[in-house]
A and B are shown apart, each in its own frame.
Chain A
Amino acid sequence: GESVGLHLPTLSVQEGDNSIINCAYSNSASDYFIWYKQESGKGPQFIIDIRSNMDKRQGQRVTVLLNKTVKHLSLQIAATQPGDSAVYFCAERSTGGFKTIFGAGTRLFVKA
């Protein structure tokens, strides 16, 4: 199967600060990108998505940035809260496809 089988990198931020989680993707044919949040003992939860015809999309306290030139995706969380502590995964899907392939996750710790 396809995945990145790495132990998770960790990002630790102070409550109230902004968080930036980065992700590199490998498939140039991918045109749809998603960020998921996974809390302990739960399945991944959709946060925000972006299509390849955009380079930025904003949601509530979250922003996703897409740089197709270097195949890089980032998730910015404003005013990070303790409830944001979780593992965050980027995922990609290619044109006309339906398989969502997950990248390596990042564990976010929010210090009170």
Chain B
Amino acid sequence: SAVISQKPSRDICQRGTSLTIQCQVDSQVTMMFWYRQQPGQSLTLIATANQGSEATYESGFVIDKFPISRPNLTFSTLTVSNMSPEDSSIYLCSSLHGGTDTQYFGPGTRLTVL
């Protein structure tokens, strides 16, 4: 199995600011994903991040709002830009491991925007 860590684990931010969330995987993976989970709800895919290419965003999510970096095979960042209270959510990083097709998740970053 893979171990995924995220930083920060939680943060409280002011409206209009930006937060960058870091995700570290303990093994090299081609595909990483970012999800959002609002309180009491399911997970919504934000984007897919492959190393060496631009992230692919799902409907309703745009690069200007959620820029993603994927500088190597073990690391990715998600930035939540120009935050508003509606961005308050848990943001989860995930990696897909070939061979087994198993997808692992980080512990999440709980973001509160005031």
Chain A residues with a Cβ under 8 A of chain B:
1-8, 32, 34, 36, 41-46, 49, 89, 93, 98-105
Does A1 contact B103, Cβ atoms closer than 8 Å?
A: no
Q: B103: nearest residue on chain A (CB-CB)?
A: A100
Q: A93: nearest residue on chain B (CB-CB)?
A: B101
What's the least CB distance linking B100 to chain A, in Å? 9
A3 to B60, CA, bound (A): 12
Chain B residues with a Cβ under 8 A of chain A:
4, 31, 33, 35-36, 38, 40-46, 48, 58-61, 92, 94, 96, 101-108
Does B40 contact A3, Cβ atoms closer than 8 Å?
A: no
Q: B6: nearest residue on chain A (CB-CB)?
A: A43
A43 to B43, CA, bound (A): 10
- Contacts known (A43-B4, A98-B96); A105 close to B42, Cβ less than 8 A: yes
Does A42 contact B40, Cβ atoms closer than 8 Å?
A: no
A93 to B108, CA, bound (A): 22
